[in-house]
Amino acid sequence: MKAITMTIASIIVGLAAMTAAAEQFSVYKWVDENGVPQYTDRPPTTATAERTKIHSQRTRPSSVQARNESLSDQIAIQKKRRKEQEEDKQRAEQIREKTLEERARNCEQAREREELYMGSRRLYRPLPNGEREYLSDEELDAARTEARQAVREWCD
């Protein structure tokens, strides 16, 4: 008889504890004096509140793991894209620097050629047999014009 009484007492205590735990996770909905709905874990003392039911379910570890893997994959893809963009930017900068160096070289050569053509009275072309062919006045003017154009093209 004592065993039955102890069992019943245990059941009653367990039910009371479960009720208290359930009561502990209740949410109350009420409207404040401004007409704004409020949600609290304790009933308000100044207004009537409606107890709302909360449904919860356990999180499945497999879904959490899948979500984490998906996020990890997305982060890896973003890192890869950023790295590729940085590499592209570096390549573009190298090409730009190379182009600037090439322009500077060509500018210097064009200035030297212009200075030579403008300072010389007569210009010549070497022939395959080693002789020189001097430029006519028209050819000399054309060569000087080309030299000025080359300076404008490469130096401006």
Angle between helix axes 137-155 and 61-119 (nearest 10 degrees) is 150
pLDDT tens, 7-66? 665 666 555 555 545 445 788 888 888 889 988 888 888 778 888 887 778 888 888 898
DSSP code at position 147: H
Give the whole-angstrom CA distance, residue 24 versus residue 17. 10
pTM equals 0.45
Domain positions in the chain are 1-55
**Percent of the chain topping pLDDT 70:** 84
Count of other CB atoms within 10 angstroms of residue 123: 15
Q: Return all residues near 40 (Cβ < 8 A) that are at least 6 apart.
A: 27, 28, 30, 49
